Amino acid sequence: MRRVRSTPRPDWPARIEAQGLAFHKTAHPENLSRPYWDESVHYVFEMDEVLALEEVVEELHRMCLEVVDHVVTTGRYHVLGIPDRVAPLIEESWRRRDPHLYGRFDLWYDGTGPAKLLEYNADTPTSLVESSIVQWYWLQDVFPGDDQWNSIHERLVDRWKQIAPGLAKGPVHFAWTNGDETGEEVMTIAYIQETAQEAGLPGVALAMEDIGWDPVGRRFVDLDDNEIRTLCKLYPWEWIVAEPFGEHVPATTAWIEPIWKMVLSNKALLVLLWELFPGHPNLLPAYLNTPSDLTSYVQKPLLGREGANMRIVTPDGTEHRTEGRYGREGFVFQEFCPLPDFDGQRPVLGAWVVHDESAGLGIRETAGLITDDTSSFVPHRIPL
């Protein structure tokens, strides 16, 4: 793994916007000197390196599924702060094996030592358009003879084909929230809808705020009063179950992602992984609401997003904090493993899984210790 310079395509903004990355300006602070999509640099991996990382990702995913089974079997929902009333829904969903679509592992990796899991974005992962589509077209334009760790699109289409026979008749509804003013979420869910349509599943787009509840028919409906039989949403489960209509979730609607992913979209997952697989080479020690014996650590809110409300204590005792609105649900304390330094930038590898298989890679990097909304996305390639 190495970081190299490259010459941006003269018309790169128009190209990436045409490919669906229309939010690269609105989702990134304007006062930064560096764009969100930055093709002036990229990372180069060797094929054997990628194959090894794929094995790590699939092993981590299998371990995460074991955590879900452990929580359902033991009833340890309190570790994750999941309300008692939600637990039976998770259990029923898990035992039905409600189908799941995709997720993204955030990994520490420096090109030499074993990759380390930082967190798992299992319910509403973003940076999908840039990982699947935009960097692939960059590769075709700039390094057409090389390869890329990227089968995300094909695997999403194939997964929809696998899921389709078990879905109720009628279109799949695809929902985002109007609360996102950047446009990132609507473009992400629109892309997921495209992959479903390519698999032969018709879709209807709507905002979560426009979903209605029919108390007579006991069903969720869209703006045309049509029943929502299958809902693919880019909206966190913890928000859904906390809202008034959340009490109706046992209705006939099939949800993608399923509610059992509440176990995986919570950073207490890191605590349970370390408990079930202590000393695993791809994990960092993690504890709930206490640093335990850690002398340097990252304090993360269980349901935090985009690096908000984090606190880092470095080995020399220096503290770094970010602001935000998370933390009431509790914190995880994870061993501090500083992101590797490549030319003054620190990358996080976003490794994608579709269903249960490794599917691709997206990289975000920052000059600081925390990857947040100021971080840039950079492409990668594999020389052939």
Which has more confidence, 120 or 320? 120
Give pLDDT, residue 206: 96
Give the SS3 label for residue 350. Answer: strand
Interval 337-373: pLDDT, tens: 999 999 999 999 999 999 999 999 999 999 888 887 7
Q: Is the pLDDT of residue 327 over 80?
A: no
What pTM, to 2 d.p., does this model score?
0.95
Residue with tokens 């009333």: 85
Q: Is the pLDDT of residue 75 over 80?
A: yes
* Residues 6 or more apart whose Cβ sits within 8 Å of residue 15: 9, 137, 141
Lowest mean pLDDT among 139-153, 220-234, 308-322: 308-322
Which has more confidence, 39 or 250? 39
Lowest mean pLDDT among 8-12, 76-80, 322-326: 322-326
What average pLDDT score do residues 70-94 get? 95
Which regions of the chain does DSSP assign to beta strands (E)? 2-5, 41-44, 102-108, 116-121, 172-176, 203-207, 212-214, 219-221, 230-233, 254-256, 286-288, 297-301, 311-313, 319-321, 331-335, 346-354, 357-366, 376-378, 380-381
Give pLDDT, residue 303: 84
Listed residue (321, 329, 281, 279) closest to 298, CA to CA: 321
Interval 289-312: pLDDT, tens: 999 999 999 999 998 776 678 899
Strands 311-313 and 297-301: antiparallel
Give pLDDT, residue 293: 95
| DSSP one-letter string for 209-271 | GG-EEETTTTEEE-TTS-B--EEEE-S-HHHHHHSGGGGGTTSS-EEES-GGGGTTSSTHHHH
Provide the percentage of residues in the chain whose pLDDT is more than 90.
83
Give pLDDT, residue 80: 94
What average pLDDT score do residues 154-168 get? 97
Using an 8 Å Cβ cutoff, are 204 and 174 in contact? Answer: yes
Instruction: Give the pair of three-digit tokens for residue 202.
Output: 């018709």
Interval 84-122: pLDDT, tens: 999 999 999 999 999 999 999 999 999 998 999 999 999
Interval 187-234: pLDDT, tens: 999 999 999 999 999 999 999 999 999 999 999 999 999 999 999 999
Band of the pLDDT at 247, cuts 50, 70, 90?
Answer: confident
Band of the pLDDT at 182, cuts 50, 70, 90?
Answer: confident
Please give the backbone phi and psi of residue 2, each rounded to the nearest 5 degrees, phi first: -145, 155
Using an 8 Å Cβ cutoff, are 376 and 36 in contact? Answer: yes
Please give the backbone phi and psi of residue 47, each rounded to the nearest 5 degrees, phi first: -60, -40
Give pLDDT, residue 47: 98
Q: Is the pLDDT of residue 322 over 90?
A: no
* Residues 6 or more apart whose Cβ sits within 8 Å of residue 28: 35, 36, 373, 374, 376
What average pLDDT score do residues 62-81 get? 96
Burial class, 335, CB count within 10 angstroms (exposed 0-12 / middle 13-18 / buried 19+): buried
Q: Is the pLDDT of residue 251 over 80?
A: no
Give pLDDT, residue 181: 80
Long-range own/partner contacts, residues 122-126 (CB < 8 A, 24 or more apart) = 122/64, 122/257, 122/261, 122/264, 122/265, 123/236, 123/237, 123/257, 123/261, 123/262, 123/264, 123/265, 124/233, 124/234, 124/235, 124/236, 124/257, 124/265, 125/350, 125/352, 126/184, 126/185, 126/188, 126/234
What average pLDDT score do residues 320-333 get? 82
